[in-house]
Structure 1
Amino acid sequence: MRKLIKVQNEDNVAVALVDLKQGEKLRFEGDELVILENTKAKHKISLVELQPNDNIYMYGVLVGRAVTHIDKGGLLTVGNVKHQTNPVKEKTTSVSWTAPSIEKWKDRTFMGYHRPDGQVGTENVWLFFPLVFCENRNIEVLKDIFEKELSISKVSKQQQLLRDLISGNTADVPVYEGGQKAINLENIKIKFITHQGGCGGIRQDSETLAKLLAGYVKNPNVAGATVLSLGCQNLQVDIFKKALSSIDPDLEKPVLIYEQQQMGTVDHMLNTIIKESFEAIKTANGIERRPAPLSKLKMGLECGGSDGFSGISANPALGYASDILAALGGSPILSEFPELCGVEQELVNRCVNEEDGQRFMQLMHDYEKSVVNAGSGFDMNPSPGNIKDGLITDAMKSAGAAKKGGTSPVEAVLDYTEYVTKPGLNLLCTPGNDVESTTGLVGSGANIVLFTTGLGTPTGNPIAPVLKIASNSTLAERMPDIIDIDTGGVISGEKSISEMGEEILEYVIKVASGEIVSKADSLGQDDFIPWKRGVSL
């Protein structure tokens, strides 16, 4: 088995594929290399002697600089390496792209839920959410009522009301006994979102939240929504309606909006919501899966709990799947702008339009400036878990993270909450925070999210399947309840990047068609955290 790997010819470091012992001698690229320190798998070994301020290259880009002398065969650590990137001012060249063969994919379909606007969902969800945190309790009450009733249980009078509606009983004595539903809601899922926004803070926060929630309604996985408002909050109903109209002036989905301060008692409001929402849910349940081309997939590309293997197994394999989807006319979406620090030049050069390249640089500049003003910086992005498993600079982490986006041209650059409309690779400005970024991807239209991880994370989403892709088999074996796909075969040499990428896309088709349930959905992992600009890395 290989013990070291150099990702690209220009690199002057290599990644340990297994634990290496001090004094161990290896033959690498026709030369003898002596390991100078005990080195855990995933960490980096210098292939040359480095002096202070010498540049360190990995993935063919600058990822750091030496701050002390590092001998050939020496271990790179946070003590002897600092974050370093090249400045980017403009597009320097146009990048040609050789797309992967799509012959075996061009006629493939998935079974999805077709919407009037031409989008196709991988799920069929009726979504409940508040415009302001003051309504979280009422959302939680409705969640309890619907979930308990749909799992055949008895509790409150509101639950009994829903039970009677399901059974068709209008008498005082329920006929819903013995736990048998009179209606089968097999084509619809009912999901609930709560959040801490909508009032307080600055008005821009509420406006951004309105756009994000409008994106969730627009998402093809949503059949319709029930929206709760208090009445006096910053995020007024009119602001939400304006956001909806902006994202889709001809929206044909049912959106039921209720304002508590106009409706009187809680009982009256909840009874009204249950009756009217249930009727709409029954209608949405009539929508069935039908074949759709793979070009209808909008695939969010995410990573979290990354390790030193992520950039050489899971991320490039996902990048290959992303390239296939882009070649088919689908829309892969690469997010997490702090984790693109150091690869800006490559991405700018890949932008089809000059304006998108300029916009990408401006968004990166503005984001980093806000982080610096808060007393931090992109260089502080790697988490303790990242560092422990070999990602010791933000540029090193970014260079591996960007591999999720493959090599296809960048067709669009979007700011947070802007909706994906163009086929091909889209760049979306989000933080690196797992849940905030995933939340943003789905708000911009992703109908499935592919999430690579080297350490393991249970992140999910209320309306879109989130598939976890392990960078190593040890993780997949240790946490089988959260891992959907294992790319460890790339590390062992049993599979190529292209073979693994094709396996990923095959799995995506099955999940998108409802044949396989994602592990996050099995665990009921419905995470939703809006991003407050300038607060998160």
Structure 2
Amino acid sequence: MTHHNSPTLRLNDSDNVLVALRAIAAEEAIAPGLTAASEIPMGHKVAATGISEGEAIRKYGQVIGFAGQAIAPGDHIHVQNCTYRGDFERNHEPCAGAKPTDFVVPEERAQFRGYRRPGGGVGTRNYIAVISTVNCSATVARMMAAHFTPEKLADYPNVDGVTAFVHSTGCGQVMGGEGYRMFMRTLAGYATHPNFAGVLMVGLGCEMAQVSLLMETYGLSESAGFHRMVIQESGGTRKTVEDGIARIEAMLPAANAAERELVGAEHLSVALQCGGSDGYSGITANPSLGHAADLVVRHGGTAILAETPEIFGAEHLLTRRAVRPEVAAKLLERIEWWKAYMERNGGSMDNNPSPGNKAGGLTTILEKSLGSSAKGGSTNLVGVYEYAEKVTTPGFVFMDSPGYDPASVTGQVASGANIVCFTTGRGSVFGYKPAPSLKLATNSALYERMSDDMDVDCGEVISKGVSTEEMGQRIFERFLAMASGERSKSEELGFGDNEFLPWLVGAVT
């Protein structure tokens, strides 16, 4: 990857496109013998050579699309002349790129200060959760949580808050169906998450997502730190809210007594995410996060990549890293599921990129996926999990999910992630209680423009020549600090109360 003070960057010797490092004027000289044919926005692509109609367009050394017409050297390459085609040959070569991981010995692993929980997990935050099992109990759950204002929690400084996790489903599903199972897994994942010191689950009573059935299926039982309430059994709204507040008040002293203690980085579980991506995402922030993910894995922790539609076109890079053939096969099976899912819903896998992604320079889903998959680093792919399925294998894993960020992160947190790391080039303003969220800006202009929201300026990879390895080390160190209690920008702003969004799949009756 070289640019040597040029206004453009060539990412791979085999690429036939260059990436604009700043806005380029029409007829500006951009390389020896190469002039821009028109204005090229920052992060967009310009033809490094002539490209014949139908010829593959390459970036990152990979195919990102095909020329829809003859393209001259210096032409702006984007939606007007670069087309998507999903039927080109990709060599998946399962396990061909798997290699031994350079693990840090246990006694030398990085450490952070976390909350050890009775079930064996380690929390990075100390919340009490009020979880509705059905939309019909959402208002009651919010009423309970709203009672616990900062003033009322002043006597409990070790408690991060009392938060309601509500949603729009829980009934009208096909019981036992695929969507129902996914939803129940999501609730169970939150109910047992180590970032909660206490949980109160609130149901209406007649819904399909019965609290009692959830508890039976996932081996949950009532205790001092886990309560269930059913509005129809408790006497209605006011009585349920009053009783719920009393139960939470009873949980607060024990929650406040929890203390952070030094634990190894093997207890880190990081959700790798991107949203509002741009042409810099795959150059700066995503590969930097990939290096940080490698460090998490080397220190015994877990890094969870997700967003299945946003690895389409790059899945062959992941199957090559699979530690076993069946891991690669499961990833390809999820890709096939998505193709069928999109077809029966009148869509296709090239539904992405979004308008904002395109404005930032991303042209096809293939280009977006190649940049997105860089978040996964370089270690072996040791597991592929379905949405919200509990991740039990340390290392780099993949969890099936949509590309819609709130739904995807909800599944990763349900799977056990206790930290979220989110890269963005356009500017995303999300937080994901109960897991703290670190946001990485792909370019320095965004970091400066949205400094209240961005935690790390990965644009320094371009603007200051910082290596992605060095940036990855900085991100890893921020993980440890944040896991120990340092608050992220999204936490300071109060985000996280509206991003709980279980993925809805299947018929609603």
TM-score using structure 1 length? 0.88
1:469 aligns with 2:440: yes
Contact 1:371 1:534 in 2 (8 A): no
Cα distance in 1 between the residues matched to 2:95 and 2:109: 34
Contact 1:360 1:413 in 2 (8 A): yes
1:396 is paired with a residue whose SS is: helix
Q: Which of 285, 307, 310 pairs up with 2:281? A: 310
Deviation per residue, 1:389-428 (Å, 9 max, x gap): 1001010011000000011100000010111111110101
Deviation per residue, 1:167-198 (Å, 9 max, x gap): xxxxxxxxxxxxxx6x3342443211111111
Structure with bigger gyration radius: 1
Q: Which of 474, 493, 499 pairs up with 1:523? A: 493
Contact 2:101 2:298 in 1 (8 A): yes
Distance 1:110 1:2, change over 3 A: farther
Deviation per residue, 1:180-221 (Å, 9 max, x gap): x6x334244321111111112433334322210110122221
Contact 1:99 1:324 in 2 (8 A): no
1:184 aligns with 2:151: no
**What are the residue-to-residue correspondences of 1:266-305 with 2, within 5 Å?**
266-305=237-276
**What are the residue-to-residue correspondences of 1:138-149 with 2, within 5 Å?**
138-147=140-149
| Aligned position for 2:9 | 5
| Aligned position for 1:151 | 151
Deviation per residue, 1:268-311 (Å, 9 max, x gap): 32222222221122212211100111111000000000010011
1:362 is paired with a residue whose SS is: helix
Q: Which of 453, 467, 471 pairs up with 2:424? A: 453
Contact 2:94 2:322 in 1 (8 A): no
1:37 aligns with 2:9: no
Could you list the runs of 5+ residues in structure 2 that have no partner in the other structure?
none
TM-score using structure 2 length? 0.93
Q: Which of 216, 233, 247 pairs up with 1:262? A: 233
Cα distance in 1 between the residues matched to 2:173 and 2:282: 38
Contact 2:376 2:396 in 1 (8 A): yes
Contact 1:90 1:348 in 2 (8 A): yes
| Aligned position for 1:482 | 453
Contact 2:444 2:463 in 1 (8 A): no
| Aligned position for 2:339 | 368
Distance 1:93 1:446, change over 3 A: closer
Deviation per residue, 1:346-371 (Å, 9 max, x gap): 11111101111111001111112111
Deviation per residue, 1:69-94 (Å, 9 max, x gap): 10122111211111234445753552
1:61 aligns with 2:65: no
Contact 1:61 1:342 in 2 (8 A): no
| Aligned position for 1:171 | none
AA at the equivalent of 1:210: M
Alpha-carbon RMSD across the aligned residues, in angstroms, is: 2.2
For this pair of structures, how many residues does the alignment match? 498
Cα distance in 2 between the residues matched to 1:422 and 1:67: 44
Contact 1:304 1:453 in 2 (8 A): yes
1:233 aligns with 2:236: no
1:312 is paired with a residue whose SS is: coil
Distance 1:103 1:265, change over 3 A: closer
2:505 is paired with a residue whose SS is: coil
Shift in Å, 1:98: 7.1
Cα distance in 2 between the residues matched to 1:337 and 1:419: 17
| Aligned position for 2:165 | 193
Q: Percent identity?
A: 33
Contact 2:103 2:297 in 1 (8 A): no
Shift in Å, 1:464: 0.4
Could you list the runs of 5+ residues in structure 1 that have no partner in the other structure?
153-165, 167-180
Contact 2:103 2:300 in 1 (8 A): no
Contact 1:210 1:243 in 2 (8 A): no
**What are the residue-to-residue correspondences of 1:414-433 with 2, within 5 Å?**
414-433=385-404
Deviation per residue, 1:107-131 (Å, 9 max, x gap): 4211100112322111111110111
Cα distance in 2 between the residues matched to 1:191 and 1:374: 34
Cα distance in 2 between the residues matched to 1:20 and 1:255: 59
**What are the residue-to-residue correspondences of 1:84-123 with 2, within 5 Å?**
84-85=85-86, 86-87=88-89, 91-92=93-94, 94-97=96-99, 106-123=108-125
Q: Which of 195, 210, 213 pairs up with 1:221? A: 195
Contact 1:333 1:425 in 2 (8 A): yes
Cα distance in 2 between the residues matched to 1:488 and 1:186: 35
AA at the equivalent of 1:367: W
Cα distance in 2 between the residues matched to 1:301 and 1:188: 23
Shift in Å, 1:103: 8.9
| Farther-moved stretch of structure 1 (357-366 vs 522-531) | 522-531
1:190 is paired with a residue whose SS is: strand
Distance 1:512 1:88, change over 3 A: same
| Farther-moved stretch of structure 1 (277-286 vs 96-105) | 96-105
Shift in Å, 1:533: 2.8
